[in-house]
Amino acid sequence: MRLPFTILDRYLLRLTVGRLGAVVGVVTFVLALETVPRLLQDVGSVDNQMGVVFKALVNLLPEYVGNSLPLAVFLATGLLFRQLAMGGELDVLAASGISAARLLRTPFLVAGGCALMLIAITGFWQPAGERGLEMIFHSASQGAFGVALPPGTANRLGSNTYLYFDAISPGGDLLDGVLLQQGKVAITARHARVVETPRNEALLALSQGLVQWPGERRAHAVHFESYSIVVPVKPENLRRPKIASERLRRLDLDALLAFESVAQGDISRAMARAAASTRIAGALFCLVLPLLGYGLGVPAKRSRSAIGLGVGLVSIILFWRLAGLVETHFASLAAVGDALLLALFAAAGIALTRWQSREGPGIAEAVLLGLWRRLKQRTPWLRRIPAAPQPQAGWQIL
């Protein structure tokens, strides 16, 4: 009996979306968990560390989701057909006359939605997160405020200039508890902000403080609400400019497409177009992943191996690496290179699907298992170590 398409669609959609959400959640959680120790180390001198780390994770969230979506599309499709095959449902559907193209309609629908989401994430949400992350770590300890100076110590800025501050404010944009010693003049302030760093100087804007200097008979002191002073900064403490690729990551997709080269700038229009092409190609790659998931996710008969899923994950990483290589070294031909990459992987996915439809479910997995066995036979260190003999149960007479 042939299943109504509406029931089949709902069934496949529920299974696919459930696995998609689970993979995105797990991958995002693992990436965030791996990043927290490094963030705590980076903000070690900032008050309210956990608050700053939480803000940083919120700004990193689009990057995590953007990285996990392609993996989730592939794994959701692969695990879907793996479950159908191991439960015998795939054979029943094939016997009912339902083709592979019909079964892939729902995964393609999900992949199309993920592709649109990925364009929005990598095109606009992730660059906004990168800019927000830069503002959060705009702190003296990491080279923000234009300089890289640690808190809690007397930082020598010049031959007779020293700057001390207690900590960085919870917002990450102010120095708290500031003492500036310039010759015989001492300036204390509740807060300070480095406004700009032209050449080897920094404009230090202080607020709510006191200026003290010695006189002939007695010391002089003046209170102020705001006071600005230019102080020298050693070249090694100047913030290093971000490289071109990092600055391109902070631009929205429309800004990349409309980018115009600046005289004596290190970012060309071709580089901006290449960055935009890579983002669009990464989103369109989601439409290829259901084919790879169907071809590599179905296990061989009487096998519970998942080597095909591993090969699929490696293929996704390979696509990312090749797209990055094209963007970096062939910027002027990035659009053509990305189109060729997509066509190559799409052709591989179509070939896998047709091969499985012709030879039977799990043919790709069976071939991969055969290659793995041959590799183990020819590579001694891959062979499984024999298990130690277990003692026989029963009475023993000593």
Terminal CA-CA length for the chain: 67
Q: Is residue 385 part of a domain?
A: no
Percentage of the chain exceeding pLDDT 90: 43
Percentage of the chain exceeding pLDDT 70: 82
Q: In whole angstroms, what is the distance from residue 390 CA to residue 388 CA?
A: 6
According to DSSP, the residues that pair with 223 across neighbouring strands are 210
Last-in-domain residue among 237, 270, 299: 237
pLDDT reported for residue 323: 96
Same domain, 190 and 275: no
Q: In whole angstroms, what is the distance from residue 323 CA to residue 68 CA?
A: 17
pLDDT reported for residue 81: 93
More confident residue, 264 or 119: 119
Residue 387 has pLDDT above 60, yes or no: no
Same domain, 270 and 195: no
For residue 66, give the nearest of 249, 244, 248, 245 by alpha carbon.
249
For residue 116, give the nearest of 320, 323, 290, 284 by alpha carbon.
284
For 1-45, the pLDDT digits (tens) are 454 556 888 889 999 999 999 999 999 999 999 998 888 776 665
Burial class (CB in 10 A: 0-12, 13-18, 19+), 47: middle
Model confidence band, residue 144 (pLDDT cutoffs 50, 70, 90): very low
- The parent domain of residue 125 ranges over 5-138+246-380
Residue 91 has pLDDT above 50, yes or no: yes
According to DSSP, the residues that pair with 185 across neighbouring strands are 182
- Mean pLDDT over all residues of the chain? 83
Rounded average pLDDT over 285-303: 91
37-46, 91-100, 288-297, range with the lowest pLDDT:
37-46
For residue 331, which phi and psi values (nearest 5 degrees)?
-60, -40
Same domain, 320 and 367: yes
pTM over 0.95: no
Same domain, 210 and 333: no
For 235-251, the pLDDT digits (tens) are 555 555 567 788 888 88
Rounded average pLDDT over 341-357: 94
Same domain, 160 and 64: no
Rounded average pLDDT over 358-376: 87
Q: In whole angstroms, what is the distance from residue 311 CA to residue 316 CA?
A: 9
Model confidence band, residue 94 (pLDDT cutoffs 50, 70, 90): confident
For residue 155, give the nearest of 139, 166, 170 by alpha carbon.
166
Model confidence band, residue 141 (pLDDT cutoffs 50, 70, 90): very low
More confident residue, 344 or 383: 344
- 119, two tokens: 């364009």
Q: In whole angstroms, what is the distance from residue 203 CA to residue 211 CA?
A: 17
Q: Is residue 387 part of a domain?
A: no
More confident residue, 232 or 147: 232
Domain count of the fold of the chain: 2
pLDDT reported for residue 342: 97
Q: Is residue 386 part of a domain?
A: no
Rounded average pLDDT over 161-166: 86
Q: Is residue 388 part of a domain?
A: no
pLDDT reported for residue 78: 95
Residue 357 has pLDDT above 90, yes or no: no
Which stretches of 164-288 are DSSP H helices? 244-249, 253-257, 269-284
Same domain, 154 and 46: no
Q: In whole angstroms, what is the distance from residue 219 CA to residue 232 CA?
A: 25
Contact 91, 361 (CB under 8 A): yes
Residue 182 has pLDDT above 80, yes or no: yes
311-320, 333-342, 359-368, range with the lowest pLDDT:
359-368
Q: How many CA atoms lie within 13 A of 312 on its CB side?
A: 32
Same domain, 95 and 43: yes
Model confidence band, residue 375 (pLDDT cutoffs 50, 70, 90): confident
Residue 123 has pLDDT above 90, yes or no: yes
For 40-68, the pLDDT digits (tens) are 776 665 556 777 788 889 999 999 999 99
